[in-house]
Amino acid sequence: MSFNNPFLRESWQRKKEEETFKQERAVNIYLDTKLEAEKYPNLNEIFERMEHSVIRYGKSINMLAIVARSENKDKRMLEEIDRNRRLAHNALIDELNLLSRQFRNIGIDNEWRKEIGLDSKTVGGWAYKVAEFISSDILNENNYEN
């Protein structure tokens, strides 16, 4: 019955388009920043650490989701996994801020940092989208289906 509702269908389509745009924008910020960082050895090193932090954060989110849905979860395990997620998130923010400062110090535009967002939740959302992209890119390089 709700599938036949044109207003609901239009709302779902609009939401899907917004999410697709956010995903594409997150990936474009990542790729543009990577291209710029690769021009400078010291920036590239910091970028690679930030990239590692993105991947680590994405893995921690996935692990938390898996354990939270598990029938055999216990409170201590969830707390430990959530603690690891927070540590990964804090490391990610530190690396992003360091990379942004280095961009500014060299005289390179670092507006991407503001576009990613300054609040914790927005940064986490950006990082998770980028982690998904990196994972799918690695799978594609190795000829695995996503």
pLDDT digits (tens, 9 = 90+) for 33-85: 999 999 999 999 999 999 999 999 999 999 999 988 888 878 899 999 999 99
Over residues 25-38, mean pLDDT = 95
Tell me if 81 is assigned to some domain: yes
Q: Which residue has the higher pLDDT, 106 or 21?
A: 106
Tokens at 120, concatenated? 């914790």
Please indicate, yes or no, if residue 52 is contained in any of the structural domains: yes
Percent of the chain with pLDDT over 70: 81
What integer pLDDT is reported at residue 16 of this predicted model?
58
Residue 146 domain-assigned (yes or no): no
Residue 103 belongs to a domain: yes
Rg of the chain over CA atoms, in angstroms? 18
Cα–chain center distance at 38: 20
Cβ neighbour number for residue 53 with a 10 Å cutoff = 21
Specify the DSSP class assigned to residue 110.
-
Domain presence at residue 6: yes
Domain of residue 14, residue span: 2-141
Q: Which two tokens stand for residue 134?
A: 């990196």
Average pLDDT, the chain: 87
Would you say residue 46 lies in a domain?
Answer: yes
Amino acid in the structure at residue 63: M
Please give the tally of structural domains in the chain: 1
